A and B are shown apart, each in its own frame.
Chain A
């Protein structure tokens, strides 16, 4: 039975009780407790159920490596599954629930899996559940899914928010134990900018718990002084409750800081993600104790020896009254000492080593503890709690020599350095047989752009085990003097991977390696037997190390078992890959601040508010919102679009065209540059004139189009599509920076600097004349000309261009004047029946005229020649982007799909994306196709369906009727016609 001791607990504040609940039960702990320590203090040992066999489990560790005690914290919009109780600080009102158990933690129906475990070894599911075939989907898989998983799924959106912080430093120290502090002090003294992050609330690490003397002071005092010195320095930033999570290329490190997880007040951001660019990273991340593999090593009450010590000394909690210690190294004797000093009983220490005579072992023996050398545990007794152990010879096969009654077992299988941050970017490990650990190989660090290592380890993370070694290593890593401390003599570890050595299959099937995923020694051996010899295969076949602790406790033990079964050495087997994050990291925190309205920047034109108040129905176009149409009361969208088209064609329409890309291209080589970018000639364009241009990629495919205006001798303004503005800007820069870097050209993206208004329709000129200020006559401003001037007192640039076939002007003004000019035009236009129109009317009018739309008629597979745009391709130029690509044979095949107009026989509209059905089927059994619809609309002007499409040899087949697919209906017939449905002579624009 675990309980709170009367005294002790250096991290808890006994004057500040904290109320919390577990599975609805009201419990009390103290400020400074973790959820795990508080539960133990309340005698609650069973804290979870394992993944596969639903075995009852208690905490085995006291830190982030905990695989068993996972819980659901909070409710509703603050619900969080799978939180490790060992790292969850207690706060007033915390509500925790057990998970993966039904109907209750104490009685879990899923435990039946445990009884059947003999039939459910590693990978059993690959060998069964195959017949009958539909049963997998309908029976087996749903059953397995329900049984698997851990915590429940959250059901609500997160009530909390998160933030990023960007920081730079010369040295980032991860870990605030004595190694990290030593490293940070040395870096500080060398004048560096230092950031030190520590995942726990307090700095100092194990040293404070375990006690040692540093520089003649108690460790706790030395730590206090060190922290004070660092806090005083302006070049040092200390961040507690902040975990070094992942190391990325070029010294980029992600750290996650807990801001509200430890307190009742949840206001403010919940977590802060530090995005640090560090000159070098010192991983002072310590080491993790390994369990031992003996039968029943997962029964509640079996704990890491260091964890027992932590609960005792840090939290004043006793895991049991009688604790048997089993170990292969000296460190566990410290646990014995702590237990004895707390007045608890240690019935025996089982030490697998045949003979040890180090000072601490002598001390413990002198205290009267029975130390059995060369012994181990044959089996732990108990079901939901430890009741005793059977002792055996480690060298034997498990024959029981003695039974010892106890209610807890403290085990130590040695220590594994936390090498994750070292390994994330490719730092290599070496096997240190003497210490029985993989530790960083200083000769093979992760390297940066200069070929030098940018991550180093310090202290226990390097493999140092004693205080003296840790301090010396940290000082050496950073370059400085090591604080002084006494050298304590320790006896070497004796690696033990299975206890006892000769354990048979029955025992092996009860020795847990990966607690959470229920992977046992027998499973890893089975994997090896079945040929899963690579450590990666064994991992994937057994799921060893794939649980939420990512193998922090299990990996080394597992691969040692694998090596043994394969008769290979441990380094030959090697480790699996260490991947970020070090411990599971909140997804919302990584997503950061960009949520809801701020998920992606919403771009609004200067006329956005006007449109909003006039009932615009919005359409997202890239990051912009554009008005799709302006429905009036009682009008459908289709009705509104129809009205807008008709009114524009008959009277006057206005479109907010501000989103069109506007790229200013200037310089002595600008003409030459644009001649390469566009298929047609731009260098010969005269100032004051406009030209429609096409842009292709190197493969010859059409990527953008737009009107180019020449401003002066060295300046052109290139209009792109709305979606293309940023892409084409990047495209231009790509060529200028990577290929033609010696050309004197610069490009400026002016898209947002100008508002642009299209004034379209037979009354267009009249409304401009009414505003007055410049000559807008056909003579002064012919089609495809532009001029600067004023309209209604506003400085404007006026283009006479048309995308609708109507008399049309586009007026560009500085963005700040856009709304005013729009309103002025609307007011002046009232006499001429002006109406705003949206993107759909724009699309319909261009389709009626047979104008192509990038993204509709093009899809990255269409060359200009397919669209009958040969006229926009200069024959005079030596080269342009895409010219060579367009010479390839595929684009000159006679049956190439080419642009045509399509008219349904019944006058309805073709379906979006419909395909033209050809004759028969191809070699793969697919129906042959001969073309497709690229744009289809109901034309209000013609009151019938019109479409544009690409059809094999289309232009040669005018008048032919072909069939188009309809989803869920018979195909629809349409006649191939000219793509220009309206005003083929262009008379309306030419006035």
Chain B
């Protein structure tokens, strides 16, 4: 892999940049791989990457129905934080956050991880108690968070109205090392690293069937023909249920649309990420200058990747109340993604009833921040059969009632 640097750019500039090669290779599929990953989003690519990097498994193909990174990896609001309440979640998201910190250097691709800090606002006494609880939990989980008062909130985010008539800001949970990253670049960086290890990334390759022999996976059928494998990782977010059905099992998932929107770009005015769960909205400013805004999920199941207007209205109403200066900005674009939500709103990283088939799904509204941790744990699970990071996230937890419920800490998409 050719190393990226300012010097490399300068050198290329002299020949009109005609020497840059492909970011990831384009090759026809082989007949067989040790591991096939379905889904070249962030989670799938990260899984493949750590299979190679941590376990030396490089005879890997990553299959993508559409274009790499085109699902929720490329549709989210890019927030990275690990201030989760429950131990298994905190472990996973903190692992991810720490990997994000060095990702640009590790992968030699600038993913623009920006540890600008995340505030989760408390606007009711109930929320105050909830976030204090999270601060206590985080102190034992090795996650650096801090309960801060309203004055400090205002200092960190001067555009906020902390004395709204309806819900005055009572304080917040502050994670200084949380932030944002450039979502597309995360997928591209992993794809480049996977290619570098000799893995195959097959775009516009749709899985149409999963081949099994005596309860064990033997390969997949695709529009590019049959591809054999020993192990299969299904990492397809909103369409997990469809793939599971091909493999002959069902998943406790519902798919709903989650929307986001951006304003027109403006000069820097907000240096932190703010999430306001009581009023249902969150906002940050991208490096380009757009205010990046998200809210809750639609109330009905669907696959349309659009979403309804009333949610946009609700979210903007909440954010104009919280940040009155955005009122005269203009919404540039709104879009939707399909998120797969489990009963306890925590993901599934698990073996499945089919031997050799592993599944990584159910990230719901908060998968982007988990990408490196998810890939790290999933790779370990696929390579060794178990991983401390993924152990609590098995499918059997729904049967056993062993839920990992974060709803107390996050009533809103994130």
Give A contacts to B, CB under 8 Å.
51, 78-82, 118-119, 121, 124-131, 133, 136-137, 141-142, 144-146, 148-158, 160, 246, 248-249, 252, 254, 275, 424-426, 505-506, 509, 522, 526, 529-534, 536-537, 540-541, 543, 548, 550, 577, 579-581, 584-588, 590-592, 594-597, 599-600, 602, 619-621, 628, 699-700, 855-856, 859-861, 885-886, 888-891, 911-915, 917, 922-927, 929, 932, 965, 967
Contacts and interface: CB of A to CB of B under 8 A. Distances in A.
Contacts of B6: 128-129
Nearest to B409: A859
B236 to A, nearest CB: 18
Interface in B369-414: 388-389, 391, 397, 399-403, 405, 407-408
Interface string B309-334: 10011001101110011111111111
A155 B101 CA distance: 32
Given A82-B264, A533-B26, A924-B388, 14 more contacts: A82-B266, A127-B9, A127-B110, A133-B102, A145-B289, A160-B327, A425-B306, A506-B16, A509-B16, A529-B18, A530-B23, A541-B188, A860-B408, A917-B140
B242 interface: no
B193 to A, nearest CB: 13
Contacts of B334: 246, 579-581
Contacts of B224: none
A124 B9 contact: yes
B74 A540 contact: yes
Nearest to B111: A126
Given A145-B289, A548-B264, A126 B133 contact: no
B31 interface: no
Given A124-B9, A505-B16, A965-B136, A150 B265 contact: yes
A156 B67 contact: no
A249 B305 CA distance: 12
A590 B329 CA distance: 11
Nearest to A863: B401
B39 to A, nearest CB: 16
B126 A913 contact: no
Contact of A600 (B90, B147, B166): B166
Contacts of A119: 9-10, 13
Nearest to B195: A531
A526 B17 contact: yes
Contacts of B267: 146, 149-153
Contacts of B407: 859-860
Contact of A586 (B22, B70, B285, B327): B327
A917 B317 CA distance: 42
26 contacts: A127-B8, A127-B109, A128-B6, A150-B266, A152-B267, A158-B328, A424-B306, A426-B304, A505-B18, A529-B22, A537-B68, A540-B74, A588-B320, A590-B312, A591-B317, A591-B319, A592-B317, A595-B321, A913-B134, A913-B137, A914-B136, A915-B137, A924-B91, A926-B140, A929-B137, A967-B147
Given A596-B165, A924-B87, A619 B125 contact: yes
B304 A249 contact: yes
A564 to B, nearest CB: 16
B325 A913 contact: no
Contact of B91 (A133, A586, A926): A926
B289 A967 contact: no
Contacts of B70: 534, 536
Contact of A584 (B4, B109, B330, B343): B330
A860 B304 CA distance: 30
B287 A144 contact: yes
A621 B128 CA distance: 13
A622 to B, nearest CB: 9
Contacts of A925: 91, 142
Contacts of B159: 153
Interface residues of B, number: 119
Nearest to A914: B136
Contact of B140 (A129, A145, A526, A915): A915
A151 B328 CA distance: 12
A698 B333 CA distance: 39
Contact of A128 (B5, B135, B391): B5
Contacts of B87: 922, 924, 926, 929
A79 B267 CA distance: 14
Of A82, A125, A153, A584, most B-chain CB atoms within 10 Å: A153
A153 B266 contact: yes
A913 to B, nearest CB: 3
A507 to B, nearest CB: 11
A140 to B, nearest CB: 9
Contact of A913 (B109, B136, B182): B136
B108 interface: yes
Contacts of B391: 923
B352 interface: no
B222 interface: no
A699 B343 contact: yes
A702 to B, nearest CB: 13
Of B105, B265, B397, most A-chain CB atoms within 10 Å: B265
Contacts of A699: 343, 401, 403
A777 to B, nearest CB: 39
A738 to B, nearest CB: 13
B140 A965 contact: yes
Contacts of B343: 699
A130 B165 contact: no
B136 to A, nearest CB: 5
A891 B268 contact: no
Contacts of A965: 136, 139-140
Interface string B97-115: 0000110110011101111
Interface string B67-81: 111100010000000
A324 B313 CA distance: 47
A201 B69 CA distance: 43
B360 interface: no
B331 A581 contact: yes
A137 B116 contact: yes
A155 B88 CA distance: 42
B175 interface: no
Interface string B1-43: 0001110111001001110111111100000000000000000
Contacts of B10: 119
Contacts of A590: 312-313, 316, 331
Interface in B126-180: 126, 128-137, 139-142, 147, 159, 161, 164-167
A914 B133 CA distance: 6
Nearest to B102: A133
Given A130-B104, A149-B267, A577 B137 contact: no
Contact of A550 (B5, B20, B147, B333): B333
B59 interface: no
Contacts of A592: 313, 317
A777 B264 CA distance: 69
B4 A888 contact: no
B67 A621 contact: no
B110 A537 contact: no
B113 to A, nearest CB: 7
B92 to A, nearest CB: 8
A155 B323 CA distance: 10
A691 B7 CA distance: 78
Contacts of B116: 137
Nearest to A923: B388
A979 B320 CA distance: 44
Contacts of B397: 890
Contacts of B405: 859-861
